[in-house]
């Protein structure tokens, strides 16, 4: 697969998700500034960052490692969104919409990982 990380739909959707996390967490209670807010933001940033870093590596094995890290961060974000929902920081529709978007990022990551696993060695 040629191109840069910016050409990857998974990266583009992850970047959109980072912006959504920042928007959602602006409404969280102030006491969460150094708790859930920072955790959510860091994990969301990590998804897009790991995709980019993996694409910049020299081997498919390294790329797969970073895509796996991105997937782990995605699950972390989903868990934290459910915690925020349980604490009443999000509405049910906000939570459901976000989880739907994150599931799409997960599908894209799975597709990328499958594509790179199945590529013939150079």
Q: Determine the pLDDT at residue 1.
A: 54
On the question of pLDDT at 62 being above 60, the answer is yes
Q: Which residue has the tokens 């990551």?
A: 109
Give the DSSP letter of residue 101: H
8 A C-beta contact, residue 89 and residue 80: no
How far is residue 43's CA from residue 19's CA, in Å, rounded to a whole number?
A: 12
Q: Tell me the average pLDDT of the chain.
A: 94
Q: What is the pTM of this model?
A: 0.93
- Domains in the chain: boundaries: 5-117
Predicted confidence band of residue 117 (pLDDT cuts 50, 70, 90): confident
Residue 5 in tokens: 């990380």
> How would you classify residue 4: left for phi > 0, otherwise alpha for psi between -120 and 50, otherwise beta?
beta
Compute the distance between CA of residue 121 and CA of residue 1 in angstroms, rounded to an integer: 13
Q: What is the CATH architecture of 5-117? A: Up-down Bundle (1.20)
Comparing 22 with 4, the larger pLDDT belongs to: 22
> What whole-number distance in Å separates Cα of residue 54 and Cα of residue 70?
9
């Amino acid at each position: 697969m040629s191109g840069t990380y910016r050409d990857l739909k998974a990266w583009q959707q992850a970047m959109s998700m980072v912006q959504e996390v920042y928007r959602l967490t602006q409404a969280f209670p102030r006491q969460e500034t150094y708790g859930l807010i920072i955790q959510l933001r860091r994990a969301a940033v990590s998804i897009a960052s790991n995709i980019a870093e993996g694409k910049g590596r020299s081997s498919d094995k390294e790329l797969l490692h970073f895509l796996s890290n991105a997937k782990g961060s995605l699950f972390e974000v989903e868990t934290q969104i459910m915690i925020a929902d349980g604490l009443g920081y999000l509405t049910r529709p906000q939570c459901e919409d976000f989880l739907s978007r994150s599931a799409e990022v997960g599908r894209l990551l799975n597709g990328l990982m499958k594509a790179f696993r199945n590529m013939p060695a150079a």
